[in-house]
Amino acid sequence: MTHTIRIILTAGIGVLTLQGCAQTQSVKQSTTVPAVAAPLAQPSSGEAIPEVDGKPTVNANTGDKFEVVAVAVRQQMQPGGRWQFVDKNERVMIDDSFADMSKLFGQFGNVDKMDDNAKVRLFADQSTVNAILTKKDGDRLICQSVVPVGSHLPVKTCRTYSQIQIEQRGTQDSLWKINATRQQMHCGAQQNGSFVPC
């Protein structure tokens, strides 16, 4: 069991961010939807996280290496980052998992020195973080087949998670502005015999 956990942790933590089902691909910048996915930012130590096919490949089996990964992930959860659409509750879960992982590395130093219970805890924390980051990866490509009006042939369209979120939020903002304008136009007027307050 120890050997299996070590292999899983080395692979899992080594690719802490998105060793899952997310499919990533570079995105062409269009005039309607800006490309918001940025490469992983430089951590404060000045070291870049090496990537292979757009996925970080750090072997975070020590506390120092883990901290570099954690700093980079937190930076990419800021506006304009790869995981900018992680919501408040998910951020709390990620921060709690990172805190527990940091505590484990602080106590044991590296994965090899951890007992089985600590390794299981570390793996659970890492799985929580990976699940959230996989789901909210701005580079994740989402494809769907849509039958256009007037046609019987489906057309496959693919967009990134970021593009979809930006479009949805733009639509919500537009609807809010339309409703606000409509309320202002009818402010102080009478409708159905009653006064509309401002």
Whether 125 and 155 share a structural domain = no
| pLDDT at site 22 | 42
Domain carrying residue 78: 2-141
Written in H, E and C, the secondary structure of 115-164 is CHHHHHHHHHHHHHHHHHHHHCCCCEEEEEEECCCCCCCCEEEEEEHHHH
Contacts of 155 (CB under 8 A, 6+ apart): 145, 146, 147, 148
How many Cβ atoms are within 10 Å of 112's Cβ, its own excluded? 13
Whether 88 and 36 share a structural domain = yes
> Which band of pLDDT confidence, cut at 50, 70 and 90, is reported for residue 189?
low
How many Cβ atoms are within 10 Å of 155's Cβ, its own excluded? 10
Bridge partner residues of 51 (DSSP) = 56
Whether 64 and 81 share a structural domain = yes
Give the C-alpha separation, 76 to 81, whole Å.
4
Last residue of a domain, one of 96, 126, 141: 141
| pLDDT at site 64 | 87
Residue 197 has pLDDT above 90, yes or no: no
> Which band of pLDDT confidence, cut at 50, 70 and 90, is reported for residue 191?
low
| For residues 144-170, average pLDDT | 91
Give the C-alpha separation, 76 to 27, whole Å.
17
| For residues 31-41, average pLDDT | 33
Q: What is the pLDDT of residues 38-92, one digit of tens each?
A: 333 334 444 454 455 655 544 578 888 889 889 999 999 999 999 999 999 999 9
User: Whole-prediction pTM value?
Assistant: 0.60
Whether 130 and 150 share a structural domain = no
Whether 90 and 150 share a structural domain = no
Which residue, among 54, 2, 64, has the nearest Cα to 23 in the 3D structure?
54
Upper half-sphere CA count for residue 160 (Cβ side, 13 Å): 24
| pLDDT at site 61 | 82
Structure tokens at 94: 């990620």
Whether 153 and 55 share a structural domain = no
- The DSSP output letter for 113 is G
Give the C-alpha separation, 110 to 63, whole Å.
6
